[in-house]
C-alpha cells in the first residue's frame, strides 16, 4: 500500500491508524466480515491490538502464567485497581481449572500467595475459598473440555470490558463518535424542534420554521381579560381562565385546530389559575380571592369545591397519581394544603414559614414541592423527607414553572428577567433570560418544545418571547396581541404549538410558519 499521511482531516487531528482501526471494528460489528478482513489486509491495521491477540492466545491455551505476564506488561502504567480486577478474573478461571483437574494443592497455593496481593475484597477471596471447599465436599462432576473452552471465551469477553484503550477498543466506537458529533450539532442548533431523523449527508441546521412563530388560530370566546392558559398532559386539551369568571376547556383536534368543549361557570370572581390532573380526567380552577373547584373534564361538571369564600387560593398543583393535589393561599394562617379529590386533608404546611404563598408547583416525579412563599424567596421541599432549602432572589417573583424532567424550574421576576434554577441545588447562580417587558403585572413563562429546549414568556408590551435555553436573549418575538400577554403554554405533545393569553380578551394559538394557514376570516 502506498504511504499515506499519518494524520487526517482538515485540521490534522485524526490519527490515520486509529481511524482505520475503528472503521474495521465498525465493519465487523455490522456483519461485513469479508470487507473488514480485506481492509485489515490492505491497510496493515488490525482491529485487535498485538497485546490483546497474545492474551487471547494464552488464555485459550490455558497458559495462565503467560496470561499474568502479559497483563502485568500491558497494564504496568495503569492503576493497581484495574490490574487487580483483571488478574482476579484470570486467577478465578485458573482456580476453576485446577480444581477441575484435581490439583487442589495448586489451587490452595494460588489462593494463599497470589490472590491476596491483588487487594481483592474479602468477600471475593472468601468466595474463591468456598469454591475449593465446596468442590472437595460435594465431589462435583468434572467439566468437559468444550465447556472449559466456552468459559475461557467468556473470560476474554469480561477482560475486554476491563482493559483500557488502545489495548481494546470501546464497543461500537465509530458509531459513538458519529452520534456525539450529530448530538453536538443538534445541541448547537437554535431552532431544533423536531423528532425527524437527522441526515449524515450534511451538517445539521434548522430554520425558524421549526418553532411556533405564526398565529394559526384566535380563540375569542372569553368576554374579558384572559389570565391563564395551560395544555393538558397529553396535549389533547387546553384550559383557559378569565376575568369574566369562567374557565374554558378546549379540545385539540387531529388537524391542530381547537374547538370549545366546555365552559365552566360556577365561580363568583375572576378565575386566576387552572391545573390539569396528570391523567387529563380532571381540572382544578382557582377563583381570585375565592374557592378552588374540581371539574370532570368529560362532562364539564363540578365534582368538588375546596375551602370557603374566606380561603384565598393563589395557585394549585397535582401529584403524579392524579389522586392528591395541593393548593397555596396568600393567607399565612392557611399556608399550603394537600387534599385528596374528595376534599379530605392529607397534610398541611402553615404558619410563619409560609407567610404568603404566591405560586407553587409539584415536580412531575412527585418528589418536590416548590413554593414562592414570599415576594423574593423560593422554598424547595422534599415531600417525603421534609428536607428543604431556600433560594433568595433580589427582586419580587411573580410566577414559577417546572420542567417535565423535574430537574429545573423557572421564575419570572419584575426586574424583567427570567431565572432558571436546578431543583437539586447544584448551581450557585441561575441562568438568566431577558428581553421581555415586566414591571407591574403577573407574567407567566413556560418550558416547551422538543426536550423542553425552549422557554416562552408573555410580556407587558403585547408580545410573546421565545428563548433557546442556551441563550440569554430571545430568538423570536411574536406579535399579534394588542395588550399585555399574561401567560403562555407550550403543547407537550406538539412541539410546534404554543398558546398565549392576553388582556385583549383573546387566546392565540401559534404554529410553525409551514403550518397550513387558515384564511383571515376563519381565525375564530
Domain end point (choices 341, 364, 392):
392
Domain end point (choices 168, 198, 222):
168
What's the pLDDT tens digit per position in 273-288?
Answer: 999 999 999 999 999 8
Instruction: Look at residues 126, 131, 114, 103 and name the one whose alpha carbon lies nearest to residue 67.
Output: 114
Task: Classify each residue of 39-71 as buried b or exposed e, where b means 16 or more C-beta atoms within 10 Å of its C-beta.
Answer: bbeebebebbbebbebbbebbeeeebeebbebb
15 found inside a domain: no
Determine the Cα–Cα distance for residues 165 and 333; give it in Å rounded to an integer: 64
Question: Percent of the chain beyond pLDDT 90?
Answer: 71
Determine the Cα–Cα distance for residues 21 and 44; give it in Å rounded to an integer: 10
CA 21, distance to chain mean position in Å, is 34
pLDDT in the model for residue 132: 59
22 found inside a domain: no
CATH number at residue 263: 2.130.10.10
Domains identified in the chain, total number: 2
pTM: 0.82
Claim to verify: residue 256 and residue 332 sit in the same structural domain: yes
pLDDT in the model for residue 313: 82
Claim to verify: residue 139 and residue 262 sit in the same structural domain: no
pLDDT in the model for residue 514: 78
Determine the Cα–Cα distance for residues 228 and 241; give it in Å rounded to an integer: 5
C-alpha cell at position 259: 374547538
CA 150, distance to chain mean position in Å, is 41
pLDDT in the model for residue 223: 97
Claim to verify: residue 383 and residue 242 sit in the same structural domain: yes
Claim to verify: residue 245 and residue 328 sit in the same structural domain: yes
Claim to verify: residue 158 and residue 285 sit in the same structural domain: no
pLDDT at position 515 over 70: no
Claim to verify: residue 98 and residue 238 sit in the same structural domain: no
CA angle 117, 121, 125 (to 5 degrees): 75
pLDDT in the model for residue 110: 72
Containing structural domain, residue 278:
230-392
pLDDT in the model for residue 85: 84
pLDDT at position 405 over 50: yes
Claim to verify: residue 373 and residue 245 sit in the same structural domain: yes
pLDDT in the model for residue 454: 98
DSSP-derived pairing of the beta strands 226-231 and 214-219: unpaired
Question: In this structure, are residues 502 and 523 in contact, taking their beta carbons and an 8 Å threshold?
Answer: no
What's the pLDDT tens digit per position in 223-265?
Answer: 999 999 999 999 999 999 999 999 999 999 999 999 999 999 9
Domain end point (choices 392, 418, 443):
392
Residue 77: CB partners within 8 Å, gap ≥ 6?
none
520 found inside a domain: no
Determine the Cα–Cα distance for residues 463 and 486; give it in Å rounded to an integer: 10
Claim to verify: residue 161 and residue 239 sit in the same structural domain: no
What's the pLDDT tens digit per position in 38-63?
Answer: 999 999 999 999 999 999 999 999 99
What's the pLDDT tens digit per position in 426-462?
Answer: 999 999 999 999 998 999 999 999 999 999 999 999 9
| Confidence grade of residue 517 (pLDDT, cut at 50, 70, 90) | very low
Determine the Cα–Cα distance for residues 523 and 492; give it in Å rounded to an integer: 23
470 found inside a domain: no
| Confidence grade of residue 330 (pLDDT, cut at 50, 70, 90) | confident
From start to end of 204-257, where are the E strands? 214-219, 226-231, 237-242, 246-252
pLDDT in the model for residue 133: 57
pLDDT at position 151 over 70: yes
- 5 vs 354 pLDDT, higher one: 5
Determine the Cα–Cα distance for residues 456 and 523; give it in Å rounded to an integer: 23
272 found inside a domain: yes
Mean of per-residue pLDDT scores for the chain: 89
Amino acid at each position: 500500500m502506498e504511504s499515506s499521511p499519518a494524520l487526517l482531516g482538515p485540521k490534522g487531528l485524526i490519527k490515520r491508524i486509529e481511524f482505520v482501526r475503528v472503521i474495521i471494528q465498525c465493519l465487523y460489528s455490522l456483519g461485513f466480515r469479508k470487507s473488514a478482513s480485506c481492509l485489515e489486509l490492505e491497510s496493515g491495521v488490525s482491529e485487535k491490538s498485538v497485546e490483546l491477540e497474545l492474551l487471547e492466545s494464552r488464555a485459550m491455551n490455558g497458559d495462565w502464567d503467560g496470561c499474568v505476564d502479559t497483563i502485568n506488561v500491558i497494564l504496568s502504567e495503569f492503576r493497581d485497581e484495574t490490574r487487580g480486577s483483571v488478574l482476579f478474573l484470570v486467577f478465578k478461571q485458573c482456580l476453576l481449572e485446577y480444581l477441575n483437574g484435581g490439583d487442589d494443592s495448586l489451587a490452595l497455593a494460588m489462593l494463599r500467595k497470589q490472590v491476596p496481593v491483588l487487594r481483592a475484597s474479602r468477600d471475593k477471596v472468601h468466595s474463591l475459598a468456598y469454591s475449593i471447599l465446596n468442590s472437595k465436599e460435594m465431589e462435583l462432576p468434572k467439566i468437559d473440555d468444550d465447556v472449559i473452552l466456552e468459559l475461557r471465551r467468556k473470560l476474554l469477553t469480561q477482560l475486554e470490558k476491563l482493559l483500557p484503550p488502545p489495548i481494546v477498543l470501546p464497543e461500537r466506537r465509530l458509531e459513538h463518535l458519529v452520534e456525539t458529533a450529530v448530538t453536538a450539532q443538534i445541541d448547537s442548533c437554535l431552532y431544533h424542534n423536531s423528532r425527524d431523523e437527522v441526515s449524515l449527508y450534511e451538517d445539521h441546521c434548522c430554520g425558524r420554521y421549526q418553532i411556533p412563530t405564526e398565529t394559526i388560530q384566535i380563540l375569542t370566546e372569553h368576554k374579558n381579560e384572559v389570565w391563564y392558559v395551560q395544555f393538558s398532559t397529553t396535549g389533547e386539551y387546553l384550559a383557559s381562565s378569565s376575568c369574566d369568571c369562567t374557565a374554558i376547556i378546549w379540545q385539540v383536534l387531529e388537524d391542530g385546530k381547537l374547538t370549545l368543549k366546555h365552559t365552566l361557570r360556577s365561580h363568583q370572581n375572576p378565575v386566576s389559575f387552572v391545573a390539569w390532573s396528570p391523567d387529563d380526567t380532571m381540572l382544578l380552577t382557582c377563583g381570585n380571592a375565592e374557592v378552588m373547584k374540581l371539574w370532570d373534564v368529560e362532562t364539564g361538571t363540578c365534582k368538588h369545591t375546596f375551602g370557603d369564600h374566606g380561603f384565598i387560593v393563589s395557585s394549585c398543583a397535582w401529584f403524579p397519581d392524579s389522586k392528591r393535589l395541593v393548593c397555596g393561599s396568600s393567607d399565612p394562617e392557611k399556608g399550603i394544603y394537600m387534599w385528596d379529590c374528595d376534599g379530605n386533608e392529607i397534610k398541611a404546611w402553615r404558619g410563619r414559614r409560609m407567610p404568603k404563598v404566591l405560586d407553587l408547583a409539584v415536580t412531575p416525579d412527585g418528589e418536590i414541592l416548590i413554593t414562592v412563599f414570599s415576594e423574593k424567596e423560593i422554598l424547595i421541599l422534599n415531600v417525603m423527607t421534609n428536607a428543604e432549602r431556600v433560594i433568595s432572589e433580589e427582586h419580587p417573583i411573580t410566577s414559577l414553572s417546572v420542567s417535565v424532567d423535574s430537574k429545573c424550574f423557572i421564575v419570572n421576576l419584575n426586574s424583567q428577567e427570567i431565572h432558571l434554577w436546578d431543583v437539586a441545588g447544584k448551581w450557585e447562580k441561575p441562568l438568566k433570560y431577558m428581553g421581555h417587558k415586566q414591571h407591574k403585572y403577573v407574567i407567566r413563562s413556560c418550558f416547551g418544545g422538543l426536550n423542553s429546549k425552549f422557554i416562552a414568556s408573555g410580556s407587558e408590551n403585547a408580545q410573546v418571547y421565545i428563548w433557546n435555553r442556551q441563550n440569554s436573549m430571545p430568538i423570536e418575538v411574536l406579535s399579534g396581541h394588542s395588550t399585555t400577554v399574561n401567560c403562555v403554554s407550550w403543547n407537550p405533545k406538539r412541539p410546534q404549538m404554543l398558546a398565549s393569553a392576553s388582556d385583549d380578551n383573546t387566546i392565540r394559538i401559534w404554529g410553525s410558519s409551514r403550518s397550513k394557514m387558515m384564511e383571515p376570516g376563519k381565525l375564530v
